[in-house]
């Protein structure tokens, strides 16, 4: 799976806190404290920047009406669930509907502005889910 799709699975259960355009880039603040705490103790959010983001469209499961209006999408309080897409554009499941996303690349930053690599995020996710799994297996 390409990293551009994999990122949505690593951000599982992350909440979309804010969305902001900066030229062709789209900045997403994702509340995902269970991972960010491992990367930067005391932090709760991660900045995901979708570079050259051509499509960011949300479709609600009930109304099936798509919207690309960022303020409307932001106000929904969506949680990211993941994707099974392997190429872009990707269909990302959320708690209330789906996002269709297409971009050329992405970057990650911690709450203090320090860049975060995909490998660092992968390792944090692995550590968290390994620990979670061991807790759920204990009597």
Reported as a single tens digit per residue, the pLDDT across 41-99 is 999 999 999 999 999 999 999 999 999 999 999 999 999 999 999 999 999 999 999 99
Structure token digits, residue 85: 């897409």
Q: How high is the mean pLDDT of the chain? A: 94
Buried b (16+ CB within 10 A) or exposed e, 14-35: bbbbebeeeeebbebbbbbebb
Question: Domain limits of the chain?
Answer: 3-137
Note if the pTM is more than 0.85: yes
C-alpha to C-alpha distances, 77 to 54, 73, 101, nearest whole angstrom:
22, 8, 17
Please report which confidence band the pLDDT of residue 135 belongs to, taking 50, 70 and 90 as the band edges.
confident
């Amino acid at each position: 799976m390409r990293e551009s799709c994999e990122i949505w699975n690593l951000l599982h259960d992350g909440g979309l806190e804010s969305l902001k355009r900066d030229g062709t880039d789209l900045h997403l603040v994702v509340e995902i404290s269970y991972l960010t705490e491992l990367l930067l103790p005391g932090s709760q959010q991660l900045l995901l920047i979708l570079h050259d983001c051509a499509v960011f469209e949300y479709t609600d499961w009930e109304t099936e009406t798509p919207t690309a209006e960022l303020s409307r999408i932001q106000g929904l309080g969506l949680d990211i669930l993941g994707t099974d897409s392997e190429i872009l554009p990707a269909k990302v499941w959320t708690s209330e509907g789906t996002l269709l996303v297409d971009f050329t690349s992405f970057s990650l930053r911690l709450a203090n502005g320090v860049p975060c690599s995909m490998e660092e995020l992968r390792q944090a996710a692995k550590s968290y889910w390994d620990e979670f799994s061991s807790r759920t297996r204990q009597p």
